[in-house]
C-alpha cells in the first residue's frame, strides 16, 4: 500500500509537468501523484545514486497566509511557505520554493530501469496520450532483488519497501533429513531380510521332514495271485470252463 494515489507519467503534451507546477517539469522515471489528504499534486522521484533529495515527493510552494496551518521556509534571503501538517522544507541546500511531502516517494523502492522500461512500453502502446497511469505496487516484485533501488539518507523515511527473502536451510536441517531417510531405508531392508530368513527356514524344515518320511522301510509289494487252470482249457466269456467232447479213443484189438 502507498500513501499517494493517481500515479502517471507526463508527456510533451503536458510540457512534462504535473498540475500547478508551472514550468517545473516531472519527467519519467519521475511520476506525478496526488496526496489523498489535501488533494495537492506532487512529483515523486525514484532514488538516484548520489543525488541529494531523491526519493521524495515534492511540490511548489503554497501562498503564505501567516497562520498555524503553514510552515515558513527560508534559504538565503528567500522565504516561502509549506503545509504544516503534511509538508516540510526542502532538504537540498540552496533550493528555493520547494516543499517535500512528509510521506516519502514509493518510487524510491522501484528500480529506475524498471520505471524507464514501463514508460517506454506505455508510450509505445499509446504514443498520442497526454499521460500514462500506472500502479507502483505492481512493480515492487520486479525490483525486490534489484540493487538500484536505494533509500535516501538526507531525510528519515516514514515508509519502507517490501523486502523478500529466501529461507536459508541450516546444515543441521540437512543432516536430520538424511538421517531420517537412512533410518527408513534400514528398516525396510531389515524387514525384507527378516521375511527372507523366515521363509528360507520354513522351506528347509519342510524339505528335511519329507526326507525323513521317505527314508523309512517300505512294505514289500503284494504278490499277484495267479489262478491255476488246466492247460488247453477253453473258457466261456464269463470265465466258466467249456465242456468239450472227449476225443475218440481206440478200442484194444481182440
pLDDT at 98 over 80: yes
Annotate 138-175 with DSSP letters as a single string. Answer: GGGGGGTT-SS----SSS--S-------PPPPPHHHHH
Out of 14-23, 181-190, 202-211, give the one with best mean pLDDT: 14-23
Lowest average pLDDT, out of 24-33, 96-105, 158-167, goes to: 158-167
Q: Number of C-alpha atoms within 13 angstroms, CB side, residue 6? A: 14
* Rounded distance between C-alpha atoms, residue 135 and residue 140, angstroms: 10
209 within some domain? no
pLDDT band at 123 (very low <50, low <70, confident <90, very high): very high
* Confidence (pLDDT) at 205: 78
Residues contacting 18, CB < 8 A, separation 6+: 10, 26, 32, 41, 42, 43
Beta bridge partners of 107: none
CA–CA dist 206, 187 (Å, integer): 29
Is residue 162 a part of any domain in this protein?
Answer: no
Q: Is residue 248, in this structure, part of any structural domain at all?
A: no
Lowest mean pLDDT among 46-50, 88-92, 93-97, 142-146: 142-146
Give the N- to C-terminal CA distance of the chain in Å, as an integer: 162
The answer to pTM > 0.85 is no
In the chain, how many domains are there? 1
228 domain-assigned: no
Write out the residue range of the structural domain in which residue 49 sits. Answer: 5-59+99-143
Q: What is the pLDDT of residues 32-72, one digit of tens each?
A: 999 999 999 999 999 988 788 889 999 998 788 877 889 99
Does residue 218 lie in a domain region?
Answer: no
| Total residue length of the chain | 254
Asked if residue 27 lies in contact with residue 69, where contact means CB atoms within 8 angstroms, the answer is: no
Answer whether residue 169 is part of any domain.
Answer: no
How far is Cα 193 from Cα 211, in angstroms, rounded to an integer? 27
Asked whether residue 14 is domain-assigned, the answer is: yes
> Does residue 197 form part of some domain?
no
Phi-psi region of 94 (alpha: psi -120 to 50; beta: other; left: phi over 0): left
Q: Is the pLDDT of residue 226 over 50?
A: no
Amino acid at each position: 500500500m502507498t500513501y499517494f494515489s493517481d500515479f502517471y507519467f507526463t508527456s510533451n503534451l503536458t510540457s512534462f509537468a504535473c498540475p500547478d507546477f508551472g514550468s517545473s517539469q516531472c519527467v519519467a522515471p519521475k511520476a506525478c501523484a496526488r496526496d489523498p489528504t489535501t488533494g495537492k499534486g506532487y512529483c515523486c522521484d525514484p532514488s538516484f545514486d548520489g543525488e541529494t533529495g531523491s526519493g521524495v515527493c515534492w511540490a511548489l510552494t503554497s501562498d503564505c497566509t501567516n497562520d498555524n496551518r503553514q510552515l515558513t521556509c527560508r534559504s538565503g534571503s528567500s522565504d516561502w511557505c509549506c503545509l504544516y501538517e503534511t509538508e516540510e522544507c526542502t532538504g537540498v541546500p540552496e533550493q528555493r520554493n520547494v516543499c517535500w511531502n512528509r510521506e516519502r516517494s514509493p518510487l524510491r523502492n522501484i528500480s529506475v530501469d524498471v520505471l524507464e522500461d514501463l514508460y517506454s512500453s506505455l508510450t509505445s502502446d499509446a504514443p498520442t496520450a497526454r499521460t500514462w497511469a500506472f500502479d507502483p505496487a505492481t512493480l515492487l516484485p520486479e525490483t525486490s532483488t534489484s540493487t538500484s533501488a536505494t533509500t535516501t539518507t538526507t531525510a528519515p523515511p516514514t515508509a519502507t519497501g517490501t523486502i523478500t527473502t529466501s529461507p536459508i536451510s541450516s546444515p543441521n536441517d540437512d543432516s536430520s533429513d538424511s538421517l531420517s531417510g537412512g533410518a527408513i531405508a534400514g528398516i525396510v531392508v531389515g524387514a525384507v531380510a527378516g521375511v527372507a530368513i523366515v521363509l528360507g527356514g520354513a522351506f528347509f524344515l519342510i524339505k528335511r521332514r519329507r526326507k525323513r518320511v521317505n527314508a523309512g522301510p517300505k512294505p514289500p509289494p503284494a504278490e499277484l495271485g495267479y489262478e491255476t487252470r488246466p492247460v488247453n482249457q477253453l473258457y466261456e466269456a464269463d470265465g466258466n470252463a467249456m465242456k468239450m467232447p472227449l476225443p475218440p479213443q481206440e478200442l484194444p484189438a481182440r
